[in-house]
Amino acid sequence: MVALRAGILVAFGLCALIVGSICSTSSGSGHRVRGRRLIESTPEAQVAVDRVVAFARGAAELSVVNAEALLAAIQSGDLEASKAAYLKLRPEYEQIEHLYEVFGDSDKDIDARPEMYDYGEAFTTELASTPGAVFKGSHRIETLLFRDQDVAAAVPWAEQLVTDYKALVQKLQTSEAYSAVQIFEGLIEVATEVAKKKFNSEEETWSDQSVLIFYNNLEGISQMFQHWETQLAAVNATLAAEVSEGLEDAAALMEPLVNTTADGSTYAPYSTVPIATRALIQAAFYEVADLLQEAAVALDIPVKAAAGGGEAEGEGEAEAEAEAGAEAEGEAGAVEEECTPTNTPTEYLADTPEMQGGLDYFRALMPYQIAASEAFTQAVEAGDLAAAEAAYQATRPIYEQVEVLAASFPSLDADLDAREYSFPGGEKSANFRGFHRLERLLFRDGDLGAETLAYAQGVETTLDTLQATLNSTNPQFFTAASAFDGLMSLASEVVSKKVSSEEETSSDLSQLIYYNNWKGIYSQAIPFCSLAQTECDAYAAATKAAVDCLDIETTDVVDNVGASAVNQTFIDGLLEADYKGYSEVSMETRRCIVQKGYAVRDTLVAFANALNVVDDCSPFHSSAFLTYTPSGDAAATTEAAGAGAPAGAPVPASSAAALSFAGMLAAAAVGVATCGLLF
């Protein structure tokens, strides 16, 4: 696949695919060595591994049958039949994705979401059939059927999915590549991922079928773990009973949401599941992960040590996160090749007028951000939940603008705005704090206790540090190169990740995030307009069109930016706006947000390239960038792929190749010379 930059990997939250727990003291094998024979090497353990692989092979073979049925339904043009076939296909893979480490690119090709890729939903026809290269598989088909209502556009993706499932079956013909360590780490990881990410990111956003995912992830854990139950009971009968009970308890919480008949199971829409029920199921998955970790230790299976929990703040977690990043990069494909830029971007330091314009705007906002956070802390201290929730909303708009420069203050950004899946231990991590910790405590748990107050006070302290950082007089601290890299990354993240993963799941304030991200990006880009007016005008128009998609009511206007505009009336327009609940937003509106949001990103990339602030190792450089087009629109190649790009730069192939996707209507352009989208 195209090379992924490490910074974008972190920004797009790939940590959520890795348990990320710290490695134990290692030998050459990479695992702990004990003074006695590992259970993993016993005949009983090999039998268990063989049975797990046989179970997975059967699930993959059934998935081929169901994928072919999905293809037939899609080829018939029947949208409702296609949706039903899609949902019938999903359970089996969710029961075996725990083995993804061995699956390699097959996992991405079948089950990855757009946030996994530099270009989100953009693609070229030849890359669509290249393993691990672009967004495809189940979630691509989900977006086309449930979001876009476009059956015809789903045909080539369904054809490719059949091929990819057949490739998966081949990887399950023998158990040679599988081990007890890999299996247990996969079970622990998926249980943790469900708890720390899937519950807080709408795993099946467009189909509203996240319950299907959770239930079958748990079913897979149960089906695989059962082959070690007898061995565990022999060494620790109490723990064996606790694991079984934990699995049963988690399943019991979801049973009321599942209707099983002779024709299969149907699942309650996730949007109808009360937040209190979600919290209980989430806690049950954390418990299952902990019990599986204990079981592995009891069985002497040398899995990675658990992260989070009782560790001292930061202790071990930095190492764990470093490991998570390394593993994520490996999952994305090969280790990223070293790249040395061959072009010389134009330098704009913090003391240039173009940079000062945006920085002064943020500096003017910060006193109001601090005041809003102080008011929130006071509401928490007063014990008024409704007042605290309203005050929480008022703390969010300004930082969601300022975060566009987070590349210059990543630690502060993590302390303020990281979500739990950014940390190996999820909510158990001592480093998970800031706005999203408070969001969970307030809107999910209704908690105004000492813990909530402490986190609120911590946010105040961090904001004071951020204000001092923004006032830095070091001209090297903020530069156009780092700023635009952050602007483009965030513009891409809004549509490839935040829209499809419910950025404010507990508070339902995701529209607040989108609006203020776009406004913040706009505030930093617009001061450069006179240097590339045509591209700037296209970007400004795209931003206004995207904002028009949002179902919000505010006196603010997105292009009203600049330090001189900031006063109490201006702030009231941001903080007192009616951003409305994202859960009530129509599918048509969500589709509009995605399509127009990609136009924001793509025109911003064109603007940045016109300014010459992008080096040719960046995935946003015009020699490599892929623009997005809505399904059904064809885009021509505007620049020879990778022409003049240095070794190691992300280089998509040209769209001239005639592969199985040759008939696909929606192909993305390589380059941004004509970056406007066809809507």
Eight-class DSSP state of 496: I
pLDDT value at position 128?
Answer: 87
- Checking if the pLDDT of 651 tops 60, the result is no
Tokens (6 digits) for 529 = 């307009």
Whether the CB-CB separation of 521 and 216 falls below 8 Å is answered with: no
**pLDDT tens by residue, 402-447:** 999 999 999 999 999 999 999 999 999 999 999 999 999 999 999 9
- Domains in the chain, CATH or no CATH each: 24-303 (1.20.1420.20), 353-611 (1.20.1420.20), 619-679 (no CATH)
Task: Compute the average pLDDT of residues 550-576.
Answer: 97
Task: Compute the average pLDDT of residues 143-158.
Answer: 97
**pLDDT tens by residue, 436-445:** 999 999 999 9
Q: Which of 367, 449, 455, 350 is nearest to 405 (CA)?
A: 350
pLDDT value at position 573?
Answer: 97
- Checking if the pLDDT of 336 tops 80, the result is no
pLDDT value at position 22?
Answer: 31
pLDDT value at position 330?
Answer: 37
Eight-class DSSP state of 553: B
**pLDDT tens by residue, 392-403:** 999 999 999 999
- Checking if the pLDDT of 509 tops 70, the result is yes
Q: Is the pTM of this model over 0.75?
A: yes
CA–CA distances in Å: residue 7 to residues 4, 21, 517, 597: 8, 20, 18, 21
List, in sequence order, the alpha helices (H) in 333-449. 353-382, 385-402, 410-417, 434-439
pLDDT value at position 41?
Answer: 58
Task: Compute the average pLDDT of residues 635-659.
Answer: 42
Tokens (6 digits) for 535 = 């591209």
pLDDT value at position 277?
Answer: 96
- Checking if the pLDDT of 559 tops 90, the result is yes
**What's the pLDDT band for 619 if we cut at 50, 70, 90?**
very high
List, in order, residues 6 or more apart from 95 with CB less than 8 Å away.
59, 216, 217, 219, 220, 223
pLDDT value at position 263?
Answer: 82
pLDDT value at position 40?
Answer: 52
Neighbours of 558 (CB within 10 A): 20
Largest CA distance in the chain: 75
Q: Which of 605, 407, 401, 400 is nearest to 507 (CA)?
A: 400
Task: Compute the average pLDDT of residues 586-612.
Answer: 97
Proportion of the chain above pLDDT 90, given as a percent: 77
pLDDT value at position 12?
Answer: 32
Whether the CB-CB separation of 293 and 188 falls below 8 Å is answered with: yes
Task: Compute the average pLDDT of residues 522-545.
Answer: 98
pLDDT value at position 201?
Answer: 75
* SS3 annotation, 92-152: HHHHHHHHHHHHCHHHHHHHCCHHHCCCCCCCCCCHHHCCCCCCCHHHHHHHHHHHCCCHH
Task: Compute the average pLDDT of residues 620-635.
Answer: 76
Q: H/E element holding 258?
A: strand 258-261
**pLDDT tens by residue, 255-305:** 999 999 888 899 999 999 999 999 999 999 999 999 999 999 999 999 998
* SS3 annotation, 581-640: CHHHCCHHHHHHHHHHHHHHHHHHHHHHHHHCCCCCCCCCCCCCCECCCCCCCCCCCCCC
Which of 67-71, 124-128, 652-656 is the most confident on average? 67-71
CB half-sphere exposure, 91, CA atoms < 13 A: 19
Task: Compute the average pLDDT of residues 104-122.
Answer: 94
Query: Residue 378, exposed/middle/buried by CB under 10 A (0-12, 13-18, 19+)?
Result: middle
**Cα 609-355-674 angle, rounded to 5 deg:** 20
**pLDDT tens by residue, 347-373:** 999 999 999 999 999 999 999 999 999
**What's the pLDDT band for 337 if we cut at 50, 70, 90?**
confident
pLDDT value at position 44?
Answer: 78
**pLDDT tens by residue, 171-218:** 999 999 999 999 999 999 999 999 999 988 778 999 999 999 999 999
Q: How far is CA 671 from the centre of its chain?
A: 25
**What's the pLDDT band for 153 if we cut at 50, 70, 90?**
very high
Tokens (6 digits) for 195 = 């708890």
Mean pLDDT, rounded, of the chain? 86
CA–CA distances in Å: residue 224 to residues 182, 217, 235, 491: 12, 11, 19, 40
pLDDT value at position 648?
Answer: 57
Distance, CA of 212 to CA of 210 (rounded, Å): 5
pLDDT value at position 262?
Answer: 82
